[in-house]
Amino acid sequence: MQKYLNNVKNELQLRNYSPKTIDGYLKCLDDYFKFLQNDPQEPDISKIKEFLLKKQEKNYSPQTINVYLNAIKFFYREILKNYIKIEIKSTKRDKKLPIALSREEINKIINTISNSKHRLLISLSYGAGLRVSETVKLKIRDILMDELIIHIKQAKGRKDRITLIPEKLLPDLNILIADRDGNDYLFESERGGRLTERTAQAIFYKALKQAKIKKDATFHSLRHSFATHLLENGTDIRYVQELLGHQNIRTTQIYTHITNPGIKNIKSPL
């Protein structure tokens, strides 16, 4: 089975899939091969369904089950060149609204952080609408302060994009990058190199707790809040889509459900 996994890895790398996607596909297929316990030359639809149902019984999310299904389909179609159609539809995804924080809550979170570098990390992530992976990978050369923009390189989907630098953060950014090389990571760890995503998330959770905010928020809620507040300010949704790097505007439109002033202005009859 290791030969198959190596072939999958090589094919995904040749197609320029992200390391995260490659790692995910390999883990899914390794799990699938262990379940089969024999050579998977021909796709057995009943076995694939049984495998996916076991994942569902273990409360795997619809998104995760779909990754398993996509990995299996990729293996048979692209590696074994077996074109027997796998007639299994993707699992219907949960339609959850993103958790956004209010402006007051964002300020509370930022103001609880005493470490200046950590405070800037959270402020910039919110003010520029960054994913945690984007924040920790920022290099000094990506910060174009004269133009008030950040050049995000090879983000989700291997796409570059441009986003905003909040003008009020310029003094803190200048202090952080003074006399440093452009190739340095903006937010370095104490041991050198970039901060890990886990460390950045821990900084956020600690501040959330200290601010005594009860919402089930995550680091990604900073990005949700960025989009929500831009729309509340009247920013055209197409510009918000571009700043977030969404390929499809329908992904951005979910924030209109949060900002809908019509619903917010309705008075309950109670």
Which active-site residues does the annotation give? Answer: 131, 156, 220, 223, 246, 255
Strands of the 143-144 sheet, one edge to the other: 143-144, 149-152, 161-164
Amino acid identity at 195: L
Residue 20: strand, helix, or coil:
helix
Tokens 């949060």 sit at which residue? 258
Tokens of 252: 């951005």
Whole-number Å distance between alpha carbons of 50 and 163: 44
Q: In the chain, what is the straight-line distance between the N-terminal and C-terminal CA atoms, in Å? A: 63
Tokens of 141: 């050369």
Whole-number Å distance between alpha carbons of 166 and 160: 19
Amino acid identity at 264: K
Interior/surface letters 85-120, b for 16+ CB within 10 angstroms, e for the rest: ebeeeebeeeeeebebbeeebbebbbebbeeeebbb
